[in-house]
Amino acid sequence: MTVSFFKSLEARVAEVDSLLCVGLDPHSQDLPEQTAQHAWAFCKRIIDQTLPFAAAYKPNAAFFEALGPEGFEVLGKVIASIPDGVPVILDAKRGDIASTARAYATAALETLGADAITLNAYMGIDAVSPFIESPAKGAFVLCKTSNPSAEDLQLYGQGTAGRALFEEVAALAEGWNQNDNVGLVVGATQVEALRRVRAAAPGLWILAPGVGHQGGNLEAALEAGLRADGLGVLVPVSRGISRADNPGEAARTLRDQINAARQKVQGRPVHDALDALADALVDIGCIRFGSFTLKSGLESPIYIDLRRLITAPGVLAQVAAAYLPLMRSLEFDRLAALPYAALPIGTAVSLQSGWPMIFPRREAKGYGTRKLIEGEPVVGETIVVVDDLATTGGSKLEAIEKLQGADLKVTDIVVLIDRQSGAQQAMAKVGCTLHAVFTLRGLLERWERTGRVSAQQVQAVREFLEAHG
């Protein structure tokens, strides 16, 4: 079985206890003469001295290409000199389609032998797919850069009901990451953007240039970008190492500084994409506090209405992204979204992931096809049910019965919020497992930690759950 690019990267990170990516940028001012041979000597010295501390290397194609055919030859020689097991990310920022993209992929990943490449995905998945067909080869997609004119395009859409364009890129990349080999490029100087990208793409690795010469705050960048497992951010440094008197010692110091900041960040609550989503659900009115009469007749201090997600497409996309890690751990052929609240959620999940969707109707139409299951399932397929909430599980049992009546297998149900009112036990009785992004008690803990909901509101809901949960 082929090991994915990011599994290989994580193995190297563990081996050297480092998130440092050493840049190999033979600037003309760093070479005694502008020749390919001097570029080779420059890079070889850095590699030899920094190898014990580098999680990966990142040669910048432009500086080699500027040296002509000999420079391209030296680039291949530099990549070949890096030992197996140490990922090489070619900083080339390619961005084309069709046969041109495939030729670029062949040049970078086969002819030169790089393990990954940076890409410009302005033309969509067509510009990315040739580079990620093999799980062993990776791509880092440009998302939010630090150059002054980046705002001309990357912030488009900010301030509307949707998200900024760079956040849409992040969400798309999360969906493209079917083979665990797609990451993002976000400048370390863009701390708020890092937070928002982590919210839009909870599971992706981020290449975060800008620490050192560009003035990025290492601790702030890691706090904003690290995943909950302490991974997910690769810190590239070029001039801070290459222009040091002792590149090896500079790399060691940077590795240790990154680890110290990483440890400090992990010692307190790391910014979590799910925290941001939990707060967003309150912000757009999906979660309300007060006094509400439920269908059962009980008076509740909390009301959950996820149908409101359709009025906030940015948050809907965050919701869909939160389902993806859970669903990737399951085996299924299609997802089935339950009417009505889960239909937009299921559609968003399908768009981000590429998984086909069906849905069971509440009742068959008395005209037309008279189908009870909309879509084109194949007899014998395994279906994962997607819904918004789980309370007692009654509506899910009805849907499961309809799907099984169409000769489909159902073993898993995924919801955004489990109210912990018996649904998990009800599903287990029919051989199904309930998976939830959030539990209601877990949400209360998040809101209490982030201060988004008052202590009095949290306590009122806890007391209600104790009495009626």
Q: Distance from first CA to last CA of the chain, Å, rounded?
A: 45
Instruction: Check 93, 144, 409, 429 and give the catalytic one.
Output: 93
**Token pair of 225 as six digits:** 């970008």
SS3 37: helix
Which residues are registered as beta bridge partners of 357? 335
SS3 content of the chain, % helix, strand, coil (to 5): 45, 20, 35
Report whether the peptide linkage leading into residue 340 is cis, meaning its omega lies within 30 degrees of zero.
Answer: yes
DSSP 48-71: HHHGGG-SEEEEBHHHHHTT-HHH
SS3 295: coil
Distant-in-sequence, close-in-space partners of 467: CB < 8 Å, separation ≥ 6: none
Dihedral, CA atoms, 434, 435, 441, 447, nearest 10 degrees? -150
230 backbone dihedrals φ, ψ, rounded to 5°: 80, 5
Residue 86 near residue 234 (C-beta atoms within 8 A): no
Distant-in-sequence, close-in-space partners of 391: CB < 8 Å, separation ≥ 6: 419, 421, 422, 423
DSSP H stretches of helix in 190-341: 191-200, 218-225, 239-242, 247-266, 273-283, 313-328
In the annotation, is 93 catalytic? Answer: yes
> What distance in Å separates the CA atoms of residue 397 and residue 190, rounded to the nearest whole number?
46
122 backbone dihedrals φ, ψ, rounded to 5°: -60, -30
Catalytic residues: 93
